[in-house]
Structure 1
Amino acid sequence: MSAPHLPKVAGIDPEVPVSTQTAAPLREIPAAPGAFIQDRLAGWVSDLTTLHELTERLASTATLDAALNELLHAGAALVGARRGLLVLERAGTTTPSTTLGLGLGPADLGHLETVERSATALGRVLDGPPEAADARGGIATPDLLGDQDLDPRHREVATRLGYAASYALPLASEAAGRLGGAVWFYDEPGEPSEKQRHLVGLYARYATEHLARLTELERARADIATVAEELLPSRLPRIPGVRLAARHRTGPQGGGDWYDALPLPDHALGLAVGSVGGSGPSAMAAMGRLRASLRAYAVMEGEDPVAVLSDLELLLRLTEPARTATALFAYCEPATRKVVLAGAGHTPPLVLGDRRCEYVETTLSAPLGMLACWEAPSVEFSPAPGETVLLYTDGLLRRTGDAMDRAFARLHSAAASVPKADRHDPAAVTDHVLRAMLPDGLDRSDSTEDVVVLAAHFD
């Protein structure tokens, strides 16, 4: 007779023995982590959030000066200091060092420079071996005035400026090398905590990489600007009866806007402005070739601006068929105040005087390189004594950010607002127009447009 079977409950076979390794059922909910762990986690999250915000602000800086200022302020916040000093000097280059202070005036910086470099923590992180710094890369001096071995001149300067402690940190990374160093000053004896040193060390390494990129970018921009300036006239000619002034700025990538002023036979003067399509070294090289060619054609047949631009069109079509350009050439006889000009897709000149401010009506024509044969009628006009003829490239209009019709109106308004006392000075006229058109200045880093303004004042 077989043993009775136990009943099954919910599909579980009661004959299968329960494993001795099975955990006992939970009798109560586990206790939450301790307050200490929660506080620590909250502190880590807060530190990471702060570091993220500071690095985001640093990454948004587009110029070296802005980045250095942001680094000084962020470092001071991380180590709990009020004042600081930063020195940027990349080894192996001819770039002069940059010194920037936070909460320190020019006189304060002058006092600090009188202290022997090797006697300061900043000097040691700039020149000393890596072992001179702590594990985080910095040098803490928690009690300057209490240091018996402190350099006497350093003690005198610290007392004068009212700081009692400092923390110096090199600006270095494996990829960028050592770019410089920073030091932050405390009003009372003290030093940053281990957590503060860790955070500012992480921030400084990121900042070093960002500074290295900006340094290379600014060096490249400076090289481009130098090349562009060398491709343009080194000085403007002096012709009786007319005075000249020019302003030119190249975009960060280098562009093709140019101008020229050259003396011609019979005491005449040739004025030209133009723009080559594109940007970068290729556009700059094309601009140089175009300007040189126009000078040659102007010397041979400058009294006929249409012939000058026709020859330039033919040359461009034969040698650089994929290139387009705009140009305006004016043949001037200062003795008789006669101007004959022709334009190829270029913006019209503007005449400014005591009695008028108006654009010269020129014939509408296509840019160079867009037609099989370029030719358009020339325009002749006579500036009155004391009037200024303003030539410019469309980069001046585009940098305003306005639509072209509004930009033309804005230029007219800027010229009309030149004070009467300045209208007989072509340099003052160009500077006033540029200030009115570009309140942020010509050197705005986020603009890719070249700007050329050439003014001719007829006596």
Structure 2
Amino acid sequence: MNAPHHSKVAGIDSTVPTPAHTVAPAPPVPGTAPVPAPNSPAPSTLLQDRLAGWVSDLTTLHELTERLARTDSLDGALQELLCAGAALVGARRGLVVLEPADGLGPETTLGLGLGRADLGHIETVPRDAMSYGELLDTAAGLPGGGGEIVHPDLFAEDGLDPRHREVAARLGYAASYALTLSTEAADRLGAAVWLYDEPAEPNERQRHLAGLYVRCGTEHLARLLEVARTRACMATISEELLPSRLPRVAGVQLAARHRTGPRGGGDWYDALPLPDAALGLAVGSVTGSGPSAVAAMGRLRASLRAYAVMEGEDPVAVLSDLELLLRLTEPARSATALFAYCEPALRKVTLAGAGHSPPLLIGERRTEFAETSVSAPLGMLACWEAPSVEFQAEAGETVLLYTDGLLHRTGDPTDRAFARLHAAAASVPRAMRRDPGAIADHVLRTVLPDGLEAADSEEDVVLLAARFD
């Protein structure tokens, strides 16, 4: 009959070594009655002390893992893991190498208390001489492997690589402790190394806590890695569906800026040469986000290009055909679009819009929105049609087309967002007005001063600038 055993307490491993701040009672001598040592604590006091230590450790792990779980970016999670790990093992500096075993990336190296130059020095050390190299290139770094490498006194090791000795002396570290970042599901993701200024090594309790924390943190890293890969894939697909380069047309200079939201959106732009030395400019946005919106954006843009080549001189006809196609093929989706037929030799622009924001004219003597007719987005009405408008650009003026994502990312009401955009365009320095790319960059920086990533929106942003000579 098996001996009875105590039930496990959630979060406490019965194999946890005795914490350093507790003292285990000495085993009794066979055949003699246990004699308590003078002034020794009662067994209940020892048990309370041990339980208090476990509770303290669990509380620390809970707080650190909660902080890690609040990170929503891969770099932020890696930095948090480095900082928390350093506190657990008693180190001051360290580095983490992200190098997924599947080879799909991303790969990066981040430091704690180490500048770029310091990381550059470390990278000059042969890979197999560094702890992270040993973990990443051997079975020790795989799930079920050794998982940790301890160098308590680097300069006392006979086989230390000369270059490693030189770099350690230059950077002022004498010991290291490394853990692999791996999970059963995601395999090996990388390795973390913490550096000590003096010869040292973490004790058993510190190593146990660090191991538990890193094991939990790696699961979070694996999820963030999948998110980062998905976002990068969506951004790549979106970029590939847009023009790889803008055409060169006499009498006009072109520049475009496109930023994809983290989930991938349906904002797009296009510029294509047309017969009779004309130029077609288009911007638009498909409702929704994610792969379906990106695919719909690609289909809509390709269709508009075909209609523009056939009847580009009539922007209303181009958008009417596009609306009919959208209604027949994707009745559950709507889109906004603006198409402009430009004659650079005459600096004449004829445009039509479907639920889209009006373009902005930027010049020496005026900065104003072009007056366009109010119309519904494509797919919202049984039959779309709105009159086109025509205006004349002056020499040196720039026509700026943009999507609503630029306005939404400001977080302001529509009227204030338009006012901010107008003020940004009016404040373009005189020296920048000859370069449409510089104008677009200035507008982005001014309208979104906190940056695209910090803005309060996940929508795409598109700017298309055309400067007439």
In the superposition, the TM-score normalised over structure 1's length comes to 0.88
The one of 247, 254, 259 equivalent to 1:249 is: 259
Q: Please name the residue that 1:237 is paired with.
A: 247
Q: Please name the residue that 1:187 is paired with.
A: 197
Number of matched residues?
429
The one of 66, 72, 86 equivalent to 1:56 is: 66
Q: Is the 1:418–1:432 contact (alpha carbons within 8 Å) kept by the matching residues of 2?
A: yes
Q: Is the 1:133–1:139 contact (alpha carbons within 8 Å) kept by the matching residues of 2?
A: no
Q: Is the 2:98–2:109 contact (alpha carbons within 8 Å) kept by the matching residues of 1?
A: yes
Q: Please name the residue that 2:445 is paired with.
A: 435
Distance in 2 of aligned mates of 1:332 and 1:426: 16
Q: Is the 1:274–1:346 contact (alpha carbons within 8 Å) kept by the matching residues of 2?
A: yes
Distance in 2 of aligned mates of 1:49 and 1:419: 56
Superposed displacement of residue 445, structure 1: 9.2
Q: Amino acid of the residue matched to residue 202 of structure 1?
A: L
Distance in 2 of aligned mates of 1:247 and 1:194: 54
Q: Is the 2:139–2:145 contact (alpha carbons within 8 Å) kept by the matching residues of 1?
A: no
Alignment CA distance shift 1:400-1:445 (3 Å)? closer
User: Is residue 289 from structure 1 mapped to residue 296 from structure 2 by the alignment?
Assistant: no
Superposed displacement of residue 236, structure 1: 0.7
Q: Please name the residue that 2:352 is paired with.
A: 342
Q: Which moves more between the two structures, 445-454 or 185-194?
A: 445-454
Equivalences for residues 112-131 of structure 1 within 5 A:
112-130=122-140
Q: Which moves more between the two structures, 311-320 or 126-135?
A: 126-135
Q: CA RMSD in A?
A: 2.2
Equivalences for residues 35-434 of structure 1 within 5 A:
36-95=46-105, 97-130=107-140, 137-434=147-444
Superposed displacement of residue 208, structure 1: 1.1
Q: Please name the residue that 2:462 is paired with.
A: 452
* Structure 2, gaps ≥5 residues long: 1-40
Alignment CA distance shift 1:227-1:446 (3 Å)? farther
Q: Amino acid of the residue matched to residue 382 of structure 1?
A: Q
Superposed displacement of residue 34, structure 1: 5.6
Superposed displacement of residue 159, structure 1: 2.0
Distance in 1 of aligned mates of 2:404 and 2:377: 13
Alignment CA distance shift 1:381-1:135 (3 Å)? closer
Distance in 2 of aligned mates of 1:431 and 1:135: 50
Q: Helix, strand or coil for the counterpart of 2:110? A: strand
Superposed displacement of residue 147, structure 1: 2.1
Q: Amino acid of the residue matched to residue 195 of structure 1?
A: R
Distance in 1 of aligned mates of 2:142 and 2:151: 12
Distance in 1 of aligned mates of 2:284 and 2:239: 15
Q: Helix, strand or coil for the counterpart of 1:99? A: strand
Aligned-residue sequence identity (percent) comes to 75
Q: Is the 2:143–2:182 contact (alpha carbons within 8 Å) kept by the matching residues of 1?
A: no
Deviation by residue 1:107-133 (Cα, 9 ceiling, x = unmatched): 322332232322333222222333999
Deviation by residue 1:325-382 (Cα, 9 ceiling, x = unmatched): 1111111111111111111111111111111111111111111111122111111111
Larger Cα-atom Rg: 1
Distance in 1 of aligned mates of 2:371 and 2:442: 24
Q: Helix, strand or coil for the counterpart of 2:261? A: coil
Equivalences for residues 7-26 of structure 1 within 5 A:
none
* Structure 1, gaps ≥5 residues long: 1-30
Q: Which moves more between the two structures, 89-98 or 202-211?
A: 89-98
Q: Is the 2:140–2:148 contact (alpha carbons within 8 Å) kept by the matching residues of 1?
A: no
Q: Helix, strand or coil for the counterpart of 2:71? A: coil
Q: Please name the residue that 2:38 is paired with.
A: none
Superposed displacement of residue 281, structure 1: 1.6
Deviation by residue 1:380-422 (Cα, 9 ceiling, x = unmatched): 1111111111111111111111111111111111111211211
Superposed displacement of residue 426, structure 1: 0.5
Superposed displacement of residue 319, structure 1: 1.9
Distance in 2 of aligned mates of 1:184 and 1:351: 56
Q: Which moves more between the two structures, 221-230 or 87-96?
A: 87-96
Q: Is the 2:337–2:377 contact (alpha carbons within 8 Å) kept by the matching residues of 1?
A: yes
Alignment CA distance shift 1:133-1:425 (3 Å)? closer
Distance in 2 of aligned mates of 1:396 and 1:161: 46
Q: Helix, strand or coil for the counterpart of 2:165? A: helix
Superposed displacement of residue 38, structure 1: 4.2
Q: Is the 2:142–2:187 contact (alpha carbons within 8 Å) kept by the matching residues of 1?
A: no
Deviation by residue 1:72-104 (Cα, 9 ceiling, x = unmatched): 111111111111021111113243632122122
Q: Is the 1:132–1:139 contact (alpha carbons within 8 Å) kept by the matching residues of 2?
A: no
In the superposition, the TM-score normalised over structure 2's length comes to 0.87
Q: Which moves more between the two structures, 410-419 or 445-454?
A: 445-454
Superposed displacement of residue 136, structure 1: 8.1
